Amino acid sequence: MSKCEQCIVRQFSSLKALNKEELLKMAECKTSYIIKKGEPIFEEGETTNGIFCIKDGVCKLTKLSANGKDQIVKLVKPGELLGQRSLISEEPTNLSAVALEDMEVCFIPKKEIMEFFNENNQFSMNMMKSVCGDLKDADDHMVSLAQKSVKERLAETLLELEDTFGKNDDGSLHIQLSREELAGMIGTATESCIRLLSEFNKIGLIELIGKKIAIIDRNKLKRMAE
Amino acid sequence: MSKCEQCIVRQFSSLKALNKEELLKMAECKTSYIIKKGEPIFEEGETTNGIFCIKDGVCKLTKLSANGKDQIVKLVKPGELLGQRSLISEEPTNLSAVALEDMEVCFIPKKEIMEFFNENNQFSMNMMKSVCGDLKDADDHMVSLAQKSVKERLAETLLELEDTFGKNDDGSLHIQLSREELAGMIGTATESCIRLLSEFNKIGLIELIGKKIAIIDRNKLKRMAE
DNA sequence: ATTAAAATATGATAATTGTCATACATTCAC
DNA sequence: GTGAATGTATGACAATTATCATATTTTAAT
């Protein structure tokens, strides 16, 4: 059983408040999983009874809308936690989590998390800050969806993706999303997304390298995002 | 100075976890305000250094978008708290709060709130649950904005407004929003909102009584919202 | 390697939504 | 009470976006 104490990613989440003793307790109760690209970690409506800590790989949080399309609400990366919202609310999850890459995650049962809440005030504060950060992001995202055009949202999203996940040697976005997934992030039809990517390509804002996307003119793209 | 102990609305918020002693402390440090309809409680970018408890009246939380329109992110009613997000994140507010009706609010300084966090675990848990509830609502709202048509969103919003704020004797929605504000909730142009209201009126879903709106056919409206 | 399936791309067209103009009604200040 | 300002309403039109059809390319399975 690997030791949480030596796990680097915990430094990036609320878990960084845990002391040696608590980390030992966590190491004993946790379960590690390998999730293959495309597989779910949990699905909308499930009761998870614990939280997941992402050690490696990125996943998408999606919600199925009435028209059958998956809306991507957030991308989650190594160091972040998953499932806090429903654990704290004591409700089934309102979102599905699906791996965009091969992933390594650890599951920590609800019982231990609740004990940390009760005994470690800094942990509680960290968790609260993290949820508040998500809420701020969600509010910003809402305004963008409500008030910006699809073109503006695409430009904005491409910039965010580069900022958050970086780029490969050839300049293309490191995070690999299908056109359908990208459309699901900006809230539009897949064809509209593809069409706008073509347009951005033609006017030299981006370059399409196969399915990959490279940002060429960051400043123009920024102006386009308003 | 009025006693928080006897204040009914605190029962509806995280504050219900506070004990007698803490309520006395709060009563001593709090400031009460009367806010007139249309006046702000705080504005985007301000640092509030505390939270507000709404005793009476409803307010809107808005965010100004790049195109100059105000997007309404949430309506907040008596019993709810205001400003927790930015207090916990230790950031300026990302939203403005403006009174939709004459309001009575109490301001509780950051210092005392932080002491409650440190000494009262149930209070922390309540606050966390409340923020998590907001996050779930925001996610739902996001999906609705991204995937539903303006018509569907209008239908959905009218139903929510009746459910949350009730109706007057004449059947009209109790909460008074201008067409511009309603448009700001569903994320559309004021004219589009007005046009759809007219259409809903013509086909007997709603009735327009001056500026007020009464829901006539709840079931059809529900089907329209999908 | 060959074929089927899935993803990407593009055109044509329709539906939705925004913008601008204008009219009418209501509210408010004086 | 009168006029200005604001809010509501509607038409005309343009822009945006979705949908359906159909290539083309890429990926996966056998």
> pLDDT tens-digit profile of B79-88?
999 999 999 9
B68 touches chain A (CB under 8 A): no
Are B142 and A73 inside 8 Å of each other by CB?
Answer: yes
Looking at the DSSP bridge assignments, the partners of residue B206 are B215
Q: Is A3 a residue whose pLDDT tops 70?
A: yes
Protein residue minimizing CA–C1' distance to D9: B194
- Classify each residue of B182-197 as buried b or exposed e, where b means 16 or more C-beta atoms within 10 Å of its C-beta: bbbbbbbeeeebeebb
Q: Is A1 a residue whose pLDDT tops 70?
A: no
Minimal C-alpha gap between B21 and chain A (Å): 21
Spacing of A36 CA from C6 C1' in Å: 19
Answer for the pair A61, A74: CB distance below 8 angstroms, yes or no: yes
Least confident range from A1-5, A187-191, A218-222: namely A1-5
Spacing of B141 CA from D15 C1' in Å: 26
Q: What is the mean pLDDT of residues A72-81?
A: 97
**Mean pLDDT (chain B, rounded):** 94
Q: What is the pTM of this model?
A: 0.94
- Three-point CA angle A15, A17, A23, nearest 5°: 65
In this prediction, residue B16 has a pLDDT band, given cuts at 50, 70 and 90, of very high
Closest of A3, A81, A89, A2 to residue A42, by C-alpha: A81
For residue B97, which amino acid is it? A
Task: Please list every residue in chain A whose beta carbon sits closer than 8 Å to the beta carbon of residue B88.
Answer: 125, 128-129, 132
For residue A180, which amino acid is it? E
- Three-point CA angle A71, A72, A78, nearest 5°: 165
Query: What's the Cα-to-Cα distance from A224 to each of A171, A206, A220, B41, B145, rounded to whole Å?
Result: 20, 12, 6, 34, 21
Candidate from A71, A89, A91 with C-beta closest to B142: A71
Answer for the pair A48, A105: CB distance below 8 angstroms, yes or no: no
Footprint of strand D on the protein (CB under 7 A): A 67, 149-151, 187-189, 191-192, 210-211; B 178-180, 190-191, 194-195, 197-198, 208, 211
Q: Is A217 a residue whose pLDDT tops 80?
A: yes
B156 Cβ partners below 8 Å, 6+ apart? B144, B148, B225
CA–CA distance, B23 with B17 (Å, rounded to integer) = 10
Q: Considering only CA atoms, give the Rg of chain A.
A: 19
Quick: pLDDT tens for A115-138: 999 999 999 999 999 999 999 999
**DSSP character at residue A176:** -
- Supply the pLDDT for residue A67: 84
Are A187 and B132 inside 8 Å of each other by CB?
Answer: no
For residue A15, which amino acid is it? L
Task: Please list every residue in chain B whose beta carbon sits closer than 8 Å to the beta carbon of residue A146.
Answer: 65, 71, 145, 186-187
In this prediction, residue B223 has a pLDDT band, given cuts at 50, 70 and 90, of very high
Structure tokens belonging to residue B163: 């459910």
Candidate from B121, B133, B226 with C-beta closest to A89: B133
Spacing of B179 CA from D5 C1' in Å: 17
